[in-house]
């Protein structure tokens, strides 16, 4: 964080070309301009690392489906994910096999 603050303050004071400033701090010009833009938009708070987590997960299993899988697994501990999946597909779900296995491992 201190590195970013120092970089932004030097960049705003225009102490030489951006290329040289980025080289001095060991960052790419793209990163330097990104930090500068974030600082202009949000101040020093904008210089913190941002989450890399996606905003949404369209393939994520719904809470209802997860609950149904868990209930069937508890009721029939010897059944595997394929058997449970077939049963659920017939009854109420159209879950993909990969998602079924993900819930099964939890």
Contact 43, 85 (CB under 8 A): no
Q: What is the pLDDT of residue 38?
A: 93
Structurally, the chain folds into a number of domains equal to: 2
Listed as ranges, residues in the chain with pLDDT below 50 are: none
* Judgement on whether residues 101 and 67 belong to the same structural domain of the protein: yes
* Judgement on whether residues 38 and 74 belong to the same structural domain of the protein: no
Instruction: Give me the domain span that covers residue 78.
Output: 63-105
* Judgement on whether residues 42 and 8 belong to the same structural domain of the protein: yes
Is there a domain that residue 43 lies in?
yes
Contact 47, 4 (CB under 8 A): yes
Q: How far apart are CA 19 and CA 79, in angstroms?
A: 62
Q: pTM of the prediction?
A: 0.52
* Judgement on whether residues 13 and 41 belong to the same structural domain of the protein: yes
Is there a domain that residue 19 lies in?
yes
C-alpha distances in Å from residue 103, one per residue of 61, 69, 85, 94: 8, 7, 11, 14
Q: What is the pLDDT of residue 63?
A: 83
Q: What is the pLDDT of residue 30?
A: 96
Q: What is the pLDDT of residue 51?
A: 85
Is there a domain that residue 75 lies in?
yes
């Amino acid at each position: 964080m201190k590195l970013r603050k120092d970089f932004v303050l030097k960049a705003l004071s225009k102490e030489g070309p951006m290329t040289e400033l980025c080289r001095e701090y060991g960052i790419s010009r793209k990163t330097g301009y990104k930090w500068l833009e974030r600082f202009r938009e949000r101040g020093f708070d904008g210089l913190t690392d941002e989450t890399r987590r996606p905003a949404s997960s369209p393939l994520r299993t719904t809470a209802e489906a997860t609950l149904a899988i868990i209930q069937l697994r508890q009721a029939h501990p010897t059944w595997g994910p394929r058997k449970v999946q077939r049963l659920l597909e017939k009854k109420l779900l159209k879950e993909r096999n990969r998602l079924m296995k993900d819930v099964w491992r939890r």
